Amino acid sequence: MIVQIHTDSNIESSEGLKAQVESLVESALGRFGDRVSRVQVHLGDENSSSKAGGNDKRCMIEARLDGRPPVAVTQQAPTLEQAMDGAAEKLERSISSMLERLRDR
């Protein structure tokens, strides 16, 4: 599974952030590893660092499954970690639900 991380100009991309995102993706999607070919994670700060705001951190995760259309989810939260955790949980539920529906057919 390939994990690609994209940040906007307001989020500093560091090795620590990359390791955190890769670990989060692996823990959320590891059980689907044979079906997921690529995961793109987009991190952003909607209001930039100069403005304070409630849910201004955004995490969008898109997973590409073999033979299926991509699955994408977005989560906004006060912190980047909360946004990433929320998006990972949403994506795990979405993929699990989709694969269960396919299996039931």
pLDDT of residue 50: 60
Nearest 5°: phi and psi at 3? -115, 120
pTM of the predicted structure, to 2 decimals: 0.89
pLDDT of residue 59: 96
pLDDT of residue 48: 65
d(CA 41, CA 36): 14
pLDDT of residue 52: 61
Per-residue pLDDT of the chain (105 residues), as tens digits, is 899 999 998 888 899 999 999 999 999 999 987 889 999 999 999 876 566 667 789 999 999 998 889 999 999 999 999 999 999 999 999 999 998 888 887
Q: What is the CATH number of the domain that holds 85?
A: 3.30.160.100
The domain tally of the chain equals: 1
**Host domain of residue 21:** 2-104
Residue among 47, 70, 49 at smallest CA distance from 60: 70
